[in-house]
Structure 1
Amino acid sequence: MSLEEKVMAQMKDAMKAKDEALLRGLRAIKAEIIKAKTDPGANGQISADTEMKLLQKLVKSRKDSLVIYEQQNRADLATKESEEIAVIEKFLPQQMSEAELKEAVASIVAQTGAAGPQDMGKVMGVASKQLAGKADGKAIAEAVKNALNNK
């Protein structure tokens, strides 16, 4: 079952249950999927990898908005953003813990033979591919930087 089919099935249930928060999150996902399918070169299809990137992008943008709303003391808008984040994250794979991320990055550093901070690009290329969907890009970059600085 594709992401779009899962979202549509849950949208029906959310409408019946009149769950506004769930419905907002699902509609955001659906809109992003439709937008990706209509992009030039997509041919009406998107891969599972692209779906994960869309979901991560949605979560990231909402987290950025959440920080801004909290700084401006807009609890009403911050609550909506956090509800949508929770809905979208249900469709993402389980995120790695900080310890698991450090361990994975250490393994990748050993695989690539990186000697220090000058090899960050080489390590990031491998880490981004291997850890896609399992960890946030910013967290991966931070873990790689720490691992290479400790070499």
Structure 2
Amino acid sequence: MSLQLKINTDLKEAMKAKQEPLLSTLRLLKADIQYELTKNGAQELSDEQVIVLIKRGYVKRTDAIQMYEKANRNDLADKEKGEAEVLKSYLPPDVPEDQIIAAVEKFVIELGASGPKDIGKVMGKVMAEFKGANIDGSKVSAIVKSKLS
């Protein structure tokens, strides 16, 4: 079953069960998918395209959580946290940090990277290595900078 069909199925089940946080999040996600379909003129999106949309929504939620917490709006932060958890459940599992470190070390050696000027090259290779996986770019950046500094 494709990810898009799973989201549609889960949306129908959430409507029947009246699970409000799940329902509102899936409706927003379905709207994003529908917009992308209309924009591309496609009938269905690939799982990779849907994952990109989910990641985009997840990042928006995590940014909003930080802003709401700075403004002491815990009620809105909690709502965003709930939506972020729903979106995260549709993402592939996070890449373990030890795998990221191993990949960084491999590409530092492979590229002969020696200093801060090579951060971009190593970052590009590591991100390409884990394309399609759920990987945090800021975590990768921090690891690469620590290895090359």
State the TM-score, normalized to the length of structure 1: 0.87
1:94-118: CA deviation from partner (whole Å, max 9, x where unpaired): 1023333222222232233322221
Task: Count how many residue pairs are aligned between Structure 1 and Structure 2.
Answer: 148
In the alignment, which residue of structure 1 is the partner of 2:53? 54
Residue 92 of structure 2 aligns to a residue whose secondary structure is coil
In the alignment, which residue of structure 2 is the partner of 1:136? 136
Give, as a single letter, the amino acid of the residue that structure 1 aligns with 2:14.
A
Give, as a single letter, the amino acid of the residue that structure 1 aligns with 2:73.
R
2:14 and 2:20 in contact (8 A); partners too: yes
The gaps in structure 1 that reach 5 residues or longer are: none
Give, as a single letter, the amino acid of the residue that structure 1 aligns with 2:130.
L
In the aligned structure 1, how far is the partner of 2:147 from the partner of 2:46? 32
In the alignment, which residue of structure 1 is the partner of 2:122? 123
In the aligned structure 2, how far is the partner of 1:50 from the partner of 1:109? 30
1:64-116: CA deviation from partner (whole Å, max 9, x where unpaired): 00011111111211111000111101111110233332222222322333222
Residue 23 of structure 2 aligns to a residue whose secondary structure is helix
In the aligned structure 2, how far is the partner of 1:114 from the partner of 1:90? 36
In the alignment, which residue of structure 2 is the partner of 1:93? 92
2:113 and 2:122 in contact (8 A); partners too: yes
Gap change, CA 1:8 and 1:45, over 3 Å in 2: closer
In the aligned structure 1, how far is the partner of 2:32 from the partner of 2:25? 11
Poorly superposed stretches of 4+, deviation over 4 Å = none
Identity over the aligned pairs, expressed in percent? 37
